[in-house]
Amino acid sequence: MTIELEQLPYEMDALEPYISATTMEFHYGKHHRTYVENLNKLIKGTEFENMPLEKIIQATQGKPEYTAIFNNAAQAWNHSFFWHSMSPNGGGQPKGELLKKIERDFGSYEQFRADFKNAALGQFGSGWAWLVEEDGKLKVMKTANAATPIAEKLKPLIAIDVWEHAYYLDYQNRRGDFIEAFLDHLVKWK
């Protein structure tokens, strides 16, 4: 069994002008593809070869001898989740139950937006910011490099990739502008 690079849920240029087709061609077409290809090479002939991606992540988390497998597996999963956290018609606050939960756990949507932006801006170096559910309560968190909340069995709702490759072609050093574009124009609430 090999882990497949899944299709993007939209066209390469669908998120323009907020994320360019050029960024998507590199980010999905090169970075994400390479994580999947490296993972398949690393797990070939190992105990991980026939595991689903989530199981590989949970089985290799925190084990120094499997760091390369963990990093590539977690990045493969994180990127798929990130693509599904966005939509060409996205952005703004969610509706219904999810909005009520955000207001319950953050006080207001504006407070959630500020907390999420701070987490994504405050991730020093490469990593991710997330809205996750833990024991029924929503919280914002950030993770470094490939680290992923699913390794901790938390349930992510949305993620933003804040590695420089996610925004540098479109925003250069202006990570904050990229985060605001994600929240206000791209985020896809489920």
Q: Which of 28, 35, 34 is nearest to 7 (CA)?
A: 28
Taking the least distance from each CB to Mn ion, the nearer of 19 and 166 is 166
Which residue is at the shortest CB distance from Mn ion? 161
Q: CA-CA distances (angstroms) from residue 19 to 50, 147, 159, 184?
A: 35, 23, 15, 13
Taking the least distance from each CB to Mn ion, the nearer of 23 and 106 is 23
Q: Which among 1-9, 35-43, 92-100, 161-169 is the span making contact with Mn ion, rule CB under 5 A?
A: 161-169
User: Measured from the CB of residue 81, what is the shortest distance to Mn ion in angstroms?
Assistant: 11
- The verdict on 161 binding Mn ion (CB under 5 A) reads yes
- The verdict on 167 binding Mn ion (CB under 5 A) reads no
The secondary structure of 18-61 as a DSSP string is TS-HHHHHHIIIIIIHHHHHHHHHHHTTSTTTTS-HHHHHHHHT
Q: Which among 11-19, 43-51, 129-137, 160-168 is the span making contact with Mn ion, rule CB under 5 A?
A: 160-168
- The verdict on 163 binding Mn ion (CB under 5 A) reads yes
What letters, b where the CB count within 10 A reaches 16 and e where it falls short, cover 4-33? ebeebeeebebbeebbbeebbebbbeeebe
- The verdict on 170 binding Mn ion (CB under 5 A) reads no
- The verdict on 189 binding Mn ion (CB under 5 A) reads no
Site residues for Mn ion per CB under 5 A = 161, 163, 166
